[in-house]
């Protein structure tokens, strides 16, 4: 295959991925509309929104998930990450502080979540410097 053909194939693949992401976003939104009080659907919507780089919408969706199920450490960490990714250092700091203040049992949290939390704390320290 020549270079022009390979570039065309890559562009087609990228377009296909973008269409698939839009479809996943549509399905996640439909699930939330159908059952707005299911926190896991809100979390899934937030994840998809973050993949689309809509960090504000992701943080907002995660906030509702947390309101519905406040003991979910994973969701609190992801919310802080989305806020930080959106450039909201103060709100991210508030989210981490709220997590600390909630005194949730972190022994039940997946190791990846705890690593993500430490990464967020490091990024926040670097942003404050």
What pLDDT, on the 0 to 100 scale, is given for residue 68?
97
Q: What is the pTM of this model?
A: 0.82
Look at residue 67 and tell me whether its pLDDT is greater than 80: yes
> For the CA atoms of the chain, what is the radius of gyration?
17
Tens digits of residue pLDDT in 24-62 = 888 889 889 999 999 999 999 999 999 999 999 999 999
Mean pLDDT to the nearest integer, 60-83: 96
User: Tokens 């939104």, residue?
Assistant: 29
What pLDDT, on the 0 to 100 scale, is given for residue 2?
66
CA distances from 45 to 10, 53, 62, 120 (A): 27, 12, 8, 21
What pLDDT, on the 0 to 100 scale, is given for residue 24?
82
What pLDDT, on the 0 to 100 scale, is given for residue 61?
97
Residue-averaged pLDDT of the chain: 87
What pLDDT, on the 0 to 100 scale, is given for residue 75?
94
- In CATH, the architecture of 3-128 is Alpha Horseshoe (1.25)
CA distances from 81 to 21, 31, 56, 78, 85 (A): 20, 23, 11, 5, 6
Look at residue 15 and tell me whether its pLDDT is greater than 80: no
Domain boundaries, the chain: 3-128
Q: Is 53 left (phi over 0), alpha (psi -120 to 50) or beta?
A: left
For residue 89, the tally of other CB atoms under 10 A from its CB is 14
What pLDDT, on the 0 to 100 scale, is given for residue 5?
62
């Amino acid at each position: 295959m020549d270079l022009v053909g390979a570039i065309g194939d890559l562009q087609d693949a990228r377009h296909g991925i973008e269409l698939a992401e839009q479809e996943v976003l549509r399905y996640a939104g439909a699930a939330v509309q159908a059952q707005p009080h299911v926190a896991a659907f809100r979390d899934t919507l937030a994840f998809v929104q973050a993949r689309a780089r809509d960090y504000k919408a992701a943080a907002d969706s995660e906030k509702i998930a947390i309101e519905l199920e406040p003991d979910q450490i994973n969701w609190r960490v992801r919310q802080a990450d989305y806020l930080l990714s959106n450039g909201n250092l103060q709100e991210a700091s508030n989210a981490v502080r709220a997590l600390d203040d909630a005194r949730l049992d972190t022994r039940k949290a997946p190791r990846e979540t705890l690593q993500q939390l430490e990464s967020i704390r490091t990024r926040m320290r670097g942003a404050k410097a």
